[in-house]
């Protein structure tokens, strides 16, 4: 018994010493959705430890709040979607995108059964979560490209949230609504049909991103590099291990609905980029979005908001090729 006790003490001391050698990181994710699930995957798979990191995951609702917290020093890395890091940099912060894992829109505008085409929305009301959000912004972009003038030909109404949009549809207060995933599944189950699948329209947008500050890069470059290597491995695990990915998503979203988990994996597995470069092209629409309220964004160069060298170095190391082999 004494020998066993000694072994336990030595093993515990060894684990404690190993943990002390890990670099600590505070990483925020801005929504409980599959778009930001890769930090969860990496955590649950033990990938951070493999890269010398002890990562604390922190939920901070909304990208702007996550970026504000990061700029203020409360977190080290932010996983979020949208233009918040652009806004912050234009205001004088040193924020920069180091990865854009999902650069397409996974949004859907659903309509009441009697709406057969976009022209039928003339004189109708479309619900968005809040005015100024992505659901509002891209509803307006689509309407304009379809020849309809928002707030003149079609009314856009902020509902307060995705559940409220669905409730308004059911009550007949609106005739269409724009949803993310998997909320669109609830709308379809209620008898509404998809009019617009934004992923098919070719829009490039930073739906899922990783951002840091340049001061973080200067002072803790190895930690940033290790985090992104673990992130790339997390993307591979998500794409190639559906059972594990669904288990993790179910845990963090507190969902046991097997069909919803399967559909979520089906939608996001091909959406995550194997090499999640922060391409300047992915930020052009985001800059346009910011410019509607911030004149300083007009004419801004998207290259000023990205730092691609970490993903470039990870790819050059052969990690991604080793993970996927000849898979595409």
Q: What is the pLDDT of residue 253?
A: 87
Q: What is the pLDDT of residue 182?
A: 80
Dist CA 139 CA 126 (whole Å):
8
Structure token digits, residue 143: 């309407």
Dist CA 44 CA 238 (whole Å):
11
Is 108-201 in the same CATH topology as 22-105+204-324? Answer: yes
What are 110's strand-pairing partners? 177, 194
Dist CA 32 CA 18 (whole Å):
31
Give me the CATH code for the 22-105+204-324 domain, please: 3.40.190.10
What are 59's strand-pairing partners? 29
Helix (H) or strand (E) holding 39: helix 38-44
Q: Which pLDDT tens digit goes with each residue over 63-122? A: 889 999 999 999 999 999 999 999 999 999 999 999 999 999 999 999 999 999 999 999
Domain boundaries in the chain? 22-105+204-324, 108-201
Q: Which pLDDT tens digit goes with each residue over 270-304? A: 999 999 999 999 999 999 989 988 999 998 999 99
Q: What is the pLDDT of residue 3?
A: 55
Structure token digits, residue 213: 């500050």
Q: Which pLDDT tens digit goes with each residue over 98-107? A: 999 999 999 9
Architecture of domain 108-201: 3-Layer(aba) Sandwich (3.40)
pTM recorded for the entire structure = 0.83
289 within 8 A of 295, measured Cβ to Cβ:
no
Q: Which pLDDT tens digit goes with each residue over 131-144? A: 877 888 889 999 99
121 within 8 A of 115, measured Cβ to Cβ:
yes
Using CB atoms within 10 Å of the CB of residue 153, give its burial: 0 to 12 exposed, 13 to 18 middle, 19+ buried.
middle
Q: What is the mean pLDDT of the chain?
A: 90
Angle at which helix 242-253 crosses helix 221-240, to 10 degrees, equals 110
């Amino acid at each position: 018994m004494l020998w066993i006790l000694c072994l336990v003490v030595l093993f515990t001391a060894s684990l404690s010493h190993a943990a002390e050698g890990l670099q600590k990181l505070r990483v925020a994710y801005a929504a409980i959705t599959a778009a930001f699930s890769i930090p969860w995957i990496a955590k649950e798979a033990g990938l951070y430890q493999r890269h010398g990191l002890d990562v604390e995951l922190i939920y901070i609702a909304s990208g702007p709040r996550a970026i504000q917290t990061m700029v203020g020093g409360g977190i080290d890395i932010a996983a979020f979607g949208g233009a918040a890091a652009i806004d912050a940099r234009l205001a004088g912060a040193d924020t920069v995108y180091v990865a854009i894992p999902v650069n397409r829109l996974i949004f859907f505008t659903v309509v009441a059964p009697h709406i057969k085409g976009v022209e039928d929305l003339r004189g109708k009301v479309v619900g968005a979560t809040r005015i100024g959000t992505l659901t509002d912004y891209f509803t307006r972009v689509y309407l304009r490209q379809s020849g309809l003038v928002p707030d003149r030909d079609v009314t856009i109404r902020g509902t307060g949230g995705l559940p409220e949009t669905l409730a308004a549809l059911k009550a007949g207060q609106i005739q269409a609504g724009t949803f993310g995933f998997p909320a669109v599944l609830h709308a379809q189950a209620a008898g509404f049909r998809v009019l617009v699948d934004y992923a098919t329209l070719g829009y490039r947008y930073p739906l899922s991103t990783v951002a840091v500050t340049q001061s973080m890069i200067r002072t803790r470059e190895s930690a940033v590099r290790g985090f992104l290597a673990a992130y790339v491995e997390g993307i591979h695990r998500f794409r190639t291990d559906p059972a594990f990915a669904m288990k993790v998503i179910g845990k963090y979203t507190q969902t046991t609905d097997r069909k919803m988990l399967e559909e979520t994996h089906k939608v996001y597995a091909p959406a995550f980029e194997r090499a999640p470069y922060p391409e300047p092209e992915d930020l052009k629409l985001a800059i346009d979005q910011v410019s509607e309220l911030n004149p300083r964004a007009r004419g801004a160069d998207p290259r000023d908001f990205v730092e691609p060298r970490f993903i470039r170095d990870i790819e050059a190391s052969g990690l991604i090729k080793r993970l996927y082999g000849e898979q595409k």
